[in-house]
A and B are shown apart, each in its own frame.
Chain A
C-alpha cells in the first residue's frame, strides 16, 4: 500500500508563473489536507478537501491560491502568479475519516520562486 504521493518533489518557478502541486492520497482515503511550511516556521493548515468538495479553506490566502480534489485523479494545489513569498514546502496529508484523527503526510513539494 503506497503512502501519500506528492509531485513534483522540487519545483522552481519565476515570479509571475503558475505552480501546480499534485497529491495522490493513500488508497481508500477520500480526505485530503494541504499544509504550508515557510522557512523556519511550523506547518500551517491551508485547506481540507473531500472528493469534489472543499470542506474548509480557512487557511488559504484569498487570492492566487486554489485547490481541487476531482472525482478522478490527484488533488491539485494551484498557485497563480507566484511571488517570492510563496517559496515554501507544501505538504499534503490524507485521512480515511472526516475527523482526520489519523493523517498520513506525503514527502512534500519544495517550491522555490526566483
Chain B
C-alpha cells in the first residue's frame, strides 16, 4: 500500500533555532518527492522537489535530503523565523497522482 509517514506530528521550537522533519514512504514506483509548506487556511506551496537521482536540494533556509534506498527524506530548517510556523507536508509521486503525508505542524515561538 502506498503510504507516506511523517514525524514528529507537531514540533515547537524557539525563533532562531534549527529543526529537522522526517518522512518515510512506501510508494512504488517512485517518481519524485516534494516538500510543501501549508499555512493555516491556505493551499500548499512547493518548497523542494527531488527525483530518484537527487539526494539533496536547497531552497533558502530549507534543505531537503532523500535516501531512495531506505525510502527516507528529511527537511532541515535553519535559523527559524516566526513565519515558518505552518504545516510541512511530505508528498511522494508515483507519477501524476500525489500521495500526501499527514504533515508536521511546526510552531516557532519568539
Instruction: List residues of A whose CB falls within 8 A of some B CB.
Output: 4, 33, 35, 41-45, 48, 56, 58-59, 91, 93, 98-108, 110
Whether A98 and B96, one on each chain, are in contact in the complex, defined by CB atoms closer than 8 angstroms, is yes
Instruction: List residues of B whose CB falls within 8 A of some A CB.
Output: 4, 31-32, 36, 41-46, 49, 89, 93, 95-103
For the residues of B in contact with A, the DSSP-based class is strand
Residues of A near B41 (CB, < 8 A) are 107-108, 110
Whether B97 and A43, one on each chain, are in contact in the complex, defined by CB atoms closer than 8 angstroms, is no
Q: How far is the CA of A108 from the CA of B43 in the complex (A)?
A: 6
B22 to chain A, nearest CB (A): 15
Whether B102 and A42, one on each chain, are in contact in the complex, defined by CB atoms closer than 8 angstroms, is yes
Whether B93 and A43, one on each chain, are in contact in the complex, defined by CB atoms closer than 8 angstroms, is no
Q: How far is the CA of A93 from the CA of B102 in the complex (A)?
A: 18
Whether B99 and A107, one on each chain, are in contact in the complex, defined by CB atoms closer than 8 angstroms, is no
Q: How far is the CA of A83 from the CA of B100 in the complex (A)?
A: 25
Contact of B32 among A56, A101, A107 (CB under 8 A): A101
Q: How far is the CA of A100 from the CA of B32 in the complex (A)?
A: 11
B106 to chain A, nearest CB (A): 15
